[in-house]
Amino acid sequence: MLAGAETFEVGGFECPHCVGTGCYTTGARHGSDKGEQYPCPPCNGTGALTASVAISWMPAAAGLLPAVARHMDAVIVVFCARCGITRTELSERTRRADIVALRQMCCYVLRKNNFSNAKIGAALGFDHATVIHSARVVAEKLEVGDRVLTEIFEKVKDLIGNKATS
């Protein structure tokens, strides 16, 4: 592994070979359920796959963002991995305070990386107005020292590059 690299394991992907069943059947024809079943080799019979994502951090030059910050999906994957949440949980329509705080921080981080409100909203499954509100709420709460958002921000602040909290 390279110096300054992080590796994340992201699970929960359906195996495309067995379509999540964990096995495949040989000898079955036209809907017949006769035939022998074998465990699917790519997923080892689990029906699910895990992706390994390795990110190499480059030295930050003045005004340059980390390479990962140029790709919205990469920022979201790293954000979710560091915060212990799945992308599905991040995008779900819920009012649970812990999920809302993480979603708002994700919107804030993405806005600081100059992604448009509309693109962030599309990536997370929300309206652009939700993104504007989220980024504004986080900025205000960080300014007054909100403990919960400050803890989250400490985990992900390097995803913003050289830009400060404002």
Q: How many CA atoms lie within 13 A of 116 on its CB side?
A: 3
Phi and psi torsions of 123, nearest 5°: -65, -35
| Contacts (Cβ under 8 Å, ≥6 apart) of 107 | 120, 124, 130, 131, 134, 135, 138
Q: Where are the domains of the chain?
A: 5-51, 61-160
| Contacts (Cβ under 8 Å, ≥6 apart) of 20 | 14, 47, 48
pLDDT at position 31: 54
Q: Which of 26-35, 62-71, 148-157 has the lowest mean pLDDT?
A: 62-71
- Average pLDDT over every residue of 27-47: 71
Split at pLDDT 50, 70, 90, the class of 118 is: very high
Name the architecture of domain 61-160. Orthogonal Bundle (1.10)
What six digits make up the tokens of 78? 């790293």
Residues 109 and 75 sit within 8 Å (Cβ to Cβ): yes
State the distance between the two ends of the chain, measured CA to CA, in whole angstroms.
Answer: 34
| Rounded CA separation 109/106 (Å) | 5
pLDDT > 50? residue 65: no
Split at pLDDT 50, 70, 90, the class of 61 is: very low
Q: Mean pLDDT for the chain?
A: 76
